[in-house]
Amino acid sequence: MAHALDITAANPQAPRLDGTEATAPVKRSLAGLTREELRQAVMEIGVEERKSKMRADQLWRWIYHYGVTSFDEMSNVSKVLRAQLAERFTLDRPRIIDRQVSVDGTRKYLIELAPGVECETVFIPDVSKSGALCVSSQVGCTLNCTFCHTGTQALVRNLTAAEIVLQVMVARDDLGEWPTSNEDRKLTNIVFMGMGEPLYNLDAVSDAIDIISDGDGISIGRRRMTVSTSGVVPKIVELGERTGAMLAISLHATHDPLRDELVPLNKRYNIKALMDAIRAYPGLNNSKRVTFEYVMLKGVNDSLAEARALVKLLKGVPSKINLIPFNPWPDSPYECSDWDQIEAFADVVNKAGYASPIRTPRGRDILAACGQLRSESEKVKASVLRKQRLADEA
Ligand code: SAH
Ligand code: SF4
């Protein structure tokens, strides 16, 4: 994991050889860290190894169950230790640069994770008591699905596990949902459907899921987390084995020539290879189904023949189908299918036994709906990008 646990706290008062004034070291936030990272952190301030696990567990509960933002609130931690912690660390969240609330209650946050690294996170309240937080796993994306706004933003970088967890913490802060035991929680589910391809950042996604699902903290169960992929075939089974999360597949087409065009990754892993990997996903049954996402593009993939082909393709796989009305973005090359056509398509799918599959667009007025997310973070150089792609594909 790439956390800066090795940051050495330089003495801020020490004279520097070049004669310039030394600046105070930036304090690291403990919010978002794994248990092991917390244990390392307490050892950095001198807690003995044999007591480090107990101390880390205490911090864990304060950070992830109570959501405290100050060490002073940690009433079962001694004053001395609290002072030592505060000297070296913080419990800061990243800055919210912008927060927009849609007419339908959807909230979109633009979050600054590091200087120049911004991501979008969207909270989608449900009609009932539950609600889902759509988190980003990368800033930008290396893939270029032709209907997706994020795809027009080059990859800036992978997010760390802490940065993924912090998106959840920021939303909980804003919704006033600490401590975790709060009965009326609205944030009940997490979907990895924000910016980026989660399976190109599986280590961080997996650590983040471990943190978020921990029953002593944020406590959102693994079955309440869904990871969506455009089809990174070699990582699909590994995702299931490592996280136990629910799987969503961005399918969007039922035959290779069209899918090659819409989801260019299909040229590398075609529909047959994708379906084989999906069938091997651990634990699939009628209560743990795969969600197939299908964006409705007018005149492109929305014929009734395609609806029938879709049903045929999914035969034998425990699945749910999510028809997503295409969400337009500035200069997007597609139009959303007509509502009648979406309903006729849904009808074919419904008759084959898949219930209410149309996903109502949420937060469109604030560009918070699926595929509309994009931040202004700087593009990386083409050479760096190429390297990242090669590493992703290795
Ligand atoms: N990279 C992952 C997860 C993020 S995209 C993936 O592709 O699965 C989340 C979902 O939104 C995907 O199903 C994606 O295909 C869909 N999507 C992208 N752009 C869209 C748009 N403009 N309108 C509707 N859905 C879109
Ligand atoms: Fe990336 Fe997913 Fe958008 Fe495709 S749909 S460009 S994989 S974020």
> pLDDT tens, 115-148?
889 998 999 998 667 899 999 999 989 999 999 9
Class of domain 95-378: alpha beta
375, 281, 362, 345: which is closest to 319 by C-alpha? 281
Atom of ligand 1 nearest to the CA of 195: 4
Q: Is 183 a catalytic residue?
A: no
CA nearest to 192, candidates 373, 358, 320, 65: 373
Cβ(119) – ligand 2 distance below 6 Å: no
What is the C-alpha to C-alpha distance for residues 167 and 116, in angstroms, rounded to an integer?
16
Query: How confident is the model over 167-215, as pLDDT tens digits?
Result: 999 999 999 999 999 888 999 999 999 999 999 999 999 999 999 999 9
In this prediction, residue 350 carries a pLDDT of: 94
Question: Are the CB atoms for 153 and 379 separated by under 8 Å?
Answer: yes
Ligand nearest to the CA of 329: 1
Q: For a pocket test of ligand 1, which of 167, 193, 200, 334 has the largest count of ligand atoms closer than 8 A to its C-beta?
A: 193
Tell how far the Cα of 147 is from the centroid of ligand 2, in angstroms. Answer: 9
Indicate which atom in ligand 1 lies nearest the CA of residue 229: 8
Structure tokens at 152: 């027009």
User: What's the rounded Cα separation, in Å, for the pair 159 and 39?
Assistant: 22
Whether residue 21 has pLDDT greater than 60: no
User: From the candidates 120, 163, 197, 293, which is the catalytic residue?
Assistant: 120
Side-chain-side CA neighbours of 173 within 13 Å: the count stands at 19
Looking at residue 8, what is its pLDDT? 27
Q: Is the pLDDT of residue 390 over 80?
A: no
Task: Give, for ligand 1, the residue of 250, 320, 329 to mutate: max count of ligand atoms closer than 8 Å to Cβ.
Answer: 250
Q: In the predicted model, is pLDDT for residue 321 greater than 90?
A: yes
Domain boundaries, the chain: 13-90, 95-378
Burial of 215 (0-12, 13-18, 19+ CB in 10 A): exposed
Residues 88 and 44: beta-carbon distance below 8 Å: yes
pLDDT of 62-115, one tens digit each? 999 999 999 999 999 999 999 999 999 999 999 999 999 988 889 999 999 998
CA nearest ligand 1 atom 4, residue: 193
The token pair that represents 287 in the structure block: 């209560």
Four-way CATH pick for 13-90: 1.20.120.1200, 1.10.150.530, 3.50.50.60, 1.10.3720.10: 1.10.150.530
- Quick one: which ligand is closest to 194's CA? 1
How far does residue 197's CA lie from ligand 1's centre (Å)? Answer: 10
- The Å distance, Cα 131 to ligand 2 centre, comes to 23
Per-residue pLDDT tens digits for 237-269: 999 999 999 999 999 999 999 999 999 999 999
pLDDT at 380: 44
Nearest atom of ligand 2 to the alpha carbon of 151: 6
pLDDT score recorded for residue 128: 65
pLDDT for 85-95, tens place per residue?
999 999 999 99
Segment 349-363 shows an average pLDDT of: 82
Unique residue bearing structure tokens 């030592």: 84
- Measured by CA distance, the residue closest to atom 6 of ligand 2 is 151
DSSP letters, 47-81, are: --HHHHHHHHHHHHIIIIII--SSGGG-TTS-HHH
pLDDT value, residue 284? 96
Are the CB atoms for 159 and 113 separated by under 8 Å?
Answer: yes
Q: Give the residue whose CA is nearest to atom 4 of ligand 2.
A: 145
Decide whether any atom of ligand 1 lies within 6 Å of the 337 Cβ. Answer: no
Nearest to 334 by CA among 302, 359, 307, 362: 302
Task: Give catalytic status of residue 370 as yes or no.
Answer: yes
pLDDT at res. 374 = 64
Q: CA dist 54 to 35, 77, 182, Å?
A: 10, 11, 25
Asked whether the predicted pLDDT for residue 22 surpasses 70, the reply is no
Q: What is the pLDDT of residue 381?
A: 41
Give the separation between CA 268 and CA 134, rounded to whole angstroms: 27
E strands, the chain, are: 28-29, 89-90, 95-101, 107-114, 117-125, 131-134, 138-139, 157-158, 189-192, 225-229, 246-250, 290-296, 319-325
136 lines ligand 2 (CB under 6 A): no
Cα 212 to its chain centre, rounded Å, is: 11
- What are the residues whose beta carbons fall under 8 Å from the beta carbon of 338, sequence distance 6 or more? 298
Q: Count how many residues are written for the chain.
A: 394
Q: Which amino acid is at 371?
A: G
CA of 230 to the centre of ligand 2 (A): 7
Please determine, for residue 13, whether its predicted confidence score (pLDDT) is greater than 60.
no
Query: Smallest Cα–Cα separation from 319: which of 348, 287, 342, 344?
Result: 287
Dist. CA 121–CA 366, nearest whole Å: 12
Q: Are 318 and 284 in contact (CB under 8 A)?
A: yes
